[in-house]
């Protein structure tokens, strides 16, 4: 149970930038009631060990894939790509049971918290038994994710995935997809079933039409109408324009590129998260940004799969919102996702400090503040940083970490992102006013890690 509390920070990263001597107060519901710079620290006041950062939302996760990370780094075809990786991933997904999923997600969510993520959007498409039959409780695998989030304390936006076809034009699904397939009506029933358990633990419920290739136009229309009848403000996430083959196939099917088709056939607005959106033309960048949708960037996964690079300057030039996800979890480190985003742009443009803006010339600061805002929008939850009315989600940097020692607050954040060598410089993490990580470790670390290793070992043996 959360209780009202407070913390004094010598330095805190507020939505407008760094502030000194910040008093942070929250109520028993875990909502921030006061964030006041220039405040005196009383002798009995709890003090942050180091600079305080807003909690980072992770806007795109496939939890089960954490157990598959690192297991596909060998050449299986002459030209390996996302598509050959997906075939291997399907084989792995076919073996999972509810206990495996819960063990994997529990460890993953503990890892996320220790790395500074305080919320996660779970893009959940593993619905059924291995042979495609529904479980007696159709929400069995969704409930496993809810339990994992509740045990670890991470904030959750649960996004059950509608998946009906193997390609544009309603191609029949393959055997590797049978655990994912749902009718539109069964998806809407699942959302109705999950509404109460999500509300009971403060999780947000939304919907993820998997992609335009997996959801035919009529089904997309009908499921969006059904979602509006259930919750007209629910978040909507979709994979789109991740690979060039997807763009080519969409052009062959419809005569339009994927993002253009979506904007012409759905009421895309601030509720939407366009996951990846890597391959857009100039008009798509302009129109998608103007819609208010969030671009869901997953730099480590997009690099791991060879997807390509998002045109970050073009998106920001149109005022587009964006956030970060860890997707397949080849990397579970919020700072490293920021680093990879910036480095990808540097390599593409052959210039430095691409992520900086006039108001925030330090790259790490500029990127973190924008990612928090866009991530909160995609989550559909009040987690948009250190400001009264938002949830008390924050992380504290460890000033004794060698890469950070002796630096001012802004430099510490830069060193955390660009110089901590894949180790976390996070000391503690708080979610809804409750401490979830202390001295860099989640209290379930050992237990959750053992459960994860046991589950992965069994899956590989089987």
DSSP string, 292-317: TPEEEE-HHHHHHTT-----HHHHHH
Do the Cβ atoms of 186 and 135 come closer than 8 Å?
no
The Cβ-side half-sphere exposure at 192, using a 13 Å CA radius, reads 10
Close Cβ partners of 192 (under 8 Å, ≥ 6 residues apart): 230
**Sequence-ordered alpha helix ranges (H) in 115-216:** 140-152, 184-200
Residue 129 CB coordination number (10 Å): 15
**What is the pairing mode between strands 155-162 and 426-431?**
unpaired
H helix or E strand, kind and range, residue 268? none
Average pLDDT over residues 397-413: 96
Cα gap 388→345, rounded to integer Å? 34
Q: Whole-model pTM above 0.75?
A: yes
Domains and CATH numbers, the chain: 5-53+387-446 (2.30.40.10), 57-379 (3.20.20.140)
Active-site positions read 276, 327
Place of tokens 């920021």: 338
Contact 204/198 with Cβ under 8 angstroms? yes
Judging by DSSP bridges, how do beta strands 426-431 and 434-437 pair with one another? antiparallel
Confidence of residue 129 (pLDDT cuts 50, 70, 90): very high
| pLDDT reading at 342 higher than 90 | yes
Q: How does pLDDT run across 149-164, given as a tens digit for each residue?
A: 999 999 999 999 999 9
Residue 78: per-residue pLDDT = 64
Element spanning 321, H or E: strand 321-324
pLDDT of residue 83: 62
Judge contact between 318 and 285, C-beta under 8 A.
yes
Using the predicted structure, report yes or no on whether residue 142 has a pLDDT greater than 90.
Answer: yes
The answer to whether residue 462 scores a pLDDT higher than 80 is no
H-type helices in 201-323, by residue range?
Answer: 217-230, 244-254, 258-265, 282-291, 299-304, 312-317
Q: Are 438 and 86 in contact (CB under 8 A)?
A: no
Ramachandran region of residue 240, left (φ > 0), alpha (ψ -120 to 50) or beta? beta
**DSSP-assigned beta bridge partners for residue 161:** 208
Residue ranges of alpha helices (H) inside 380-427 are 409-418
**Residue 88: per-residue pLDDT:** 76
Q: Which of 92-101, 221-230, 369-378, 437-446 is the least confident region?
A: 92-101
User: What mean pLDDT do residues 121-130 have?
Assistant: 96
Calculate what percentage of the chain has a pLDDT beyond 90.
88
Q: Is the distance from CB of 220 to CB of 170 less than 8 angstroms?
A: no
Contact 92, 357 (CB under 8 A): no
Question: Looking at residues 311-325, what average pLDDT do you find?
Answer: 98
The mean per-residue pLDDT over the stretch 427-445 comes to 97
Identify the burial level of 405 via C-beta atoms within 10 angstroms of its C-beta, where 0-12 means exposed, 13-18 middle and 19 or more buried: exposed
CA–CA distance, 42 with 33 (Å, rounded to integer): 18
Distance CA 156, CA 267 (A): 25
Encoding tokens for residue 339? Answer: 């680093």
Look-up of token digits 């030209």:
79
């Amino acid at each position: 149970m959360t209780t009202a509390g407070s913390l004094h920070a010598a330095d805190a990263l507020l939505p407008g930038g760094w502030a000194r001597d910040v008093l942070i107060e929250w109520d028993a519901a875990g909502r921030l009631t006061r964030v006041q710079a220039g405040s005196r620290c009383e002798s009995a006041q709890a003090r942050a060990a180091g600079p305080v950062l807003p909690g980072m939302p992770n806007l795109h996760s496939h939890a089960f894939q954490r157990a598959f990370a690192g297991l596909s780094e060998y050449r299986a075809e002459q030209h390996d790509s996302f598509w050959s990786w997906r075939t291997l991933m399907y084989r792995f997904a076919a073996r999972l049971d509810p206990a495996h999923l819960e063990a994997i997600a529990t460890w993953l969510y503990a890892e996320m918290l220790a790395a500074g993520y305080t919320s996660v959007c779970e893009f959940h498409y593993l619905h059924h038994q291995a042979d495609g039959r529904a479980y007696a409780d159709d929400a069995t695998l969704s409930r496993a994710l809810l339990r994992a989030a509740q045990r670890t304390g991470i904030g959750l936006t649960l996004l059950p995935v509608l998946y009906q076809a193997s390609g544009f034009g309603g191609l029949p699904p393959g055997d590797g997809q049978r655990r994912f397939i749902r009718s539109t009506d069964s998806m809407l029933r699942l959302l109705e079933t999950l509404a109460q358990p999500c509300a009971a633990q403060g999780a947000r419920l939304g919907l993820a039409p998997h992609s335009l290739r997996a959801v035919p136009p009529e089904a997309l229309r009908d499921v969006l109408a059904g979602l509006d009848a259930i919750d007209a403000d629910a978040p909507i996430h979709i994979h789109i324009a991740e690979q060039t083959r997807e763009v080519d196939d969409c052009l062959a099917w419809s005569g339009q590129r994927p993002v253009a088709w979506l904007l012409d056939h759905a009421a895309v607005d601030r509720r939407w998260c366009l996951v990846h959106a890597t391959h857009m033309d100039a008009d798509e960048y302009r129109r998608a940004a103007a819609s208010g949708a969030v671009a869901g960037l997953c730099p480590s996964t997009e690099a791991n799969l060879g997807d390509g690079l998002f045109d970050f300057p073009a998106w920001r030039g149109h005022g587009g919102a964006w956030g970060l996800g860890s997707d397949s979890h080849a990397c579970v480190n919020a700072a490293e996702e920021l680093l990879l985003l910036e480095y990808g742009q540097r390599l593409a443009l052959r210039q430095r400090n691409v992520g900086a803006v006039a108001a925030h010339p330090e790259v790490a600061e500029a990127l973190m503040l924008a990612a928090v805002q866009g991530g909160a929008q995609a989550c559909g939850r009040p987690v948009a940083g250190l400001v009264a009315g938002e949830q008390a989600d924050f992380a504290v940097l460890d000033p004794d970490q060698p890469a950070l020692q002796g630096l001012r607050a802004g430099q510490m954040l830069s060193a955390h992102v660009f110089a901590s060598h894949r180790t976390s410089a996070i000391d503690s993490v708080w979610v809804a006013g409750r401490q979830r990580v202390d001295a860099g470790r989640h209290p379930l670390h050992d237990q959750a890690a053992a459960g994860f290793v046991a589950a992965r070992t069994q899956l590989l043996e089987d």
